[in-house]
Amino acid sequence: MRKSFLITLLVPFIYLSANAQQPAFEDITYKTKQSAHDSPTLLQKLFPPKQKSPSIPAERTIAAKVIVKGKVSLYEVDKYPDKCDLPYGTKPFYFIKTNEGTFPLLHNEQIGVYSVYQPYKNMLIYNLKDWQDGENEINLTEYNVQALSLLIESYNQATEHTSK
């Protein structure tokens, strides 16, 4: 009797765990940072290195977790940006995908008395420029998945009638 009672309690939990919806992932392609070895110095021309340094591809494709889908989509990547050939930033970081392309939303943490560099806000302001009240909303948006997803969903709702 005790085993059957335990089984009846556990079966719904096991069923829900097995059938829980997994987060969706998509491959996204984006432009990477430029290689520092594009134009060799005079010294490198006179004395070329024996080994060529690896070139960084102009574009890269990675799997990213889909956070918001719409006119503008939001993706999360659980890596450090330098592992994805991007210059700097925190982990996780985010991408937005618009009809103009896929763009990283990067952010540096504050260290000591140094100011926080927030290039993600400029990227959002540029890409969401057709949103009338967007700049105020963007400037109030923190760098986390909840705030960014709320912002992108608000943008998609506000501009829904203009995209049709």
25-62: per-residue pLDDT in tens? 888 887 776 544 456 667 666 777 666 555 555 788 88
Indicate the pLDDT class of residue 133, thresholds 50, 70 and 90.
confident
The domain ranges of the chain are 24-32+56-162
pTM: 0.67
Mean pLDDT of 93-97: 91
CB 86 within 8 A of CB 77: no
pLDDT at position 8 over 60: no
Indicate the pLDDT class of residue 15, thresholds 50, 70 and 90.
very low
pLDDT of 96 reads 94
